[in-house]
Structure 1
Amino acid sequence: MSSDKIKRLYFNPKLSGSYSGLNNFYNERHLKLSKKDVEKELLKLPEYYLYRPALKKFRKRRVMTYFPNWILTFDLISLLQYKNENNGYSYILNVIDCFSKRMYVEPLKNKNSDTTLMVFKKIFKRLPSIPKYVFSDLGKDLLENPPKESEPKFKVNQKVRWSLVKPVFEKGYFPRWSLEIGHIAEIKQTDPITYVVLDANNESEYIMNKSCFPYKRNQKKETEAFRQVQQPSKITVKNVSPEM
């Protein structure tokens, strides 16, 4: 079955399953192709992948641990609001053994490098053996590093789209996507990074930062690219930096 025939079936409002999701369209049309092939053809249609819902349930990475103290995870619990009642202790270092689920905790008055190192030494002395791996989140709660200069996420002349911010009580349908593509014209070193974006005609100028998303000609990622866009004539951007 050719892609043109699938396109005609999908855009025919008289047929059941048209303009719908993959499962409904595939079950109603009883196509001879596999569901994977049908999905591959539907992903070529902007009317399908622009409104495709985001995946919420998907396969996650598994954590394999073979014996105690093979993998330890740790995080910092903030108790700043109870500092006066806890003799000046503001944090609790929480370490968990992934195999036995055993927990080790130590209080901290602050989270500078010297205090954190001293607490880790106390916990490691209580362990029966040295752990193989130690994991934490991406936060830097336990590290007293000097602030790094923020680096721009995008480059000059890189193609981007921008997102829509609607008023809280606005009613009615408004498209969440646009076919217009802009490009980064200038990068300003602010906190956060500010991007000056021009449209395709190099006329309209918008200043934004976290609402920029890169445009890539990858069919599988078109959903992500189109989910954060709007009509540029009514643009309202999150986190707009003050005029400089």
Structure 2
Amino acid sequence: MSQKKDLVEELHRPARRNYPRRRVDVRGLDETWQADLVEMIPYARENGGYKYLLTCIDIFSKYAWTVPVKSKTGKDIAEAMKSILSKGQRVPKHLHTDRGKEFYNKDFEAVMNKYGIHLYSTYSNLKASIVERFNRTLKNIMWKQFSLQGNRKWPNIVSKLTSDYNERKHRTIGMAPVRVTQKNEKDILKTRFAQRVGSVSRKFKIGDKVRVSKAKHLFEKGYEPNWTTEIFTVRRVARTDPVTYHLQDYLEQPISGCFLRRRTFKSKACGRLPRGKSYQETWRSGLC
């Protein structure tokens, strides 16, 4: 009975929802871009059927691109992405997106292959944070313009608004995104993206047995178990900032993604409670 009680205490242990995430680490101009799709569906009728806005941003320089699109089909999004890449001489080595079908399809894959871009996504209920921050900034500017013009017509103004953003000083890099070049990227790297000095704290070691936090949504019941009934084994410790852990299940099969310390804890209780669902249905992959 005592063993079962210990197990129940572990499963219902409080789980933090807000904690420092792994930082996006880039070393130069156009090393990694992020892309996202902004929904503008409610205003499609007064905007010629345009329902979406494809947004891209270079993580290092914060330079952004935007293209209005009428649908989120793979073909339309691929064409929009191609128009961004063909406008100038800038092409990223990597493109980070969410795992939406608008990015994972044969048409978009063909564009990635044509330009030699590596498309990837992180296994998380969080998305590409930097482009989403840009989306909020752009929408704030856009809605101010809506108030000025007395309507919500946006395809004809979004290019100018994006250009204004690129020419405005950005707090993170200390200059306007349009002014970042290969000549000054080393100076920016030294002042804004210098590596933090200090030892990296490692909570777990290889072989430790851990449980994983379930990714609950806002309105899910707080009294349901917060942690997986399954116990996983740490198979690798990644020296990232903050430290992340790669896990494997009891069959020694690797688990997709990597996990932050706040999403795991070392288990002391053995065994598991009866359940009707497999673990794949009750928890999400790691956060990289």
TM-score, normalising length from structure 2? 0.35
Higher relative contact order (CA 8 A, sep 6+): 2
Find the structure with the greater CA-based Rg: 1
Higher helix share: 2
TM-score, normalising length from structure 1? 0.41
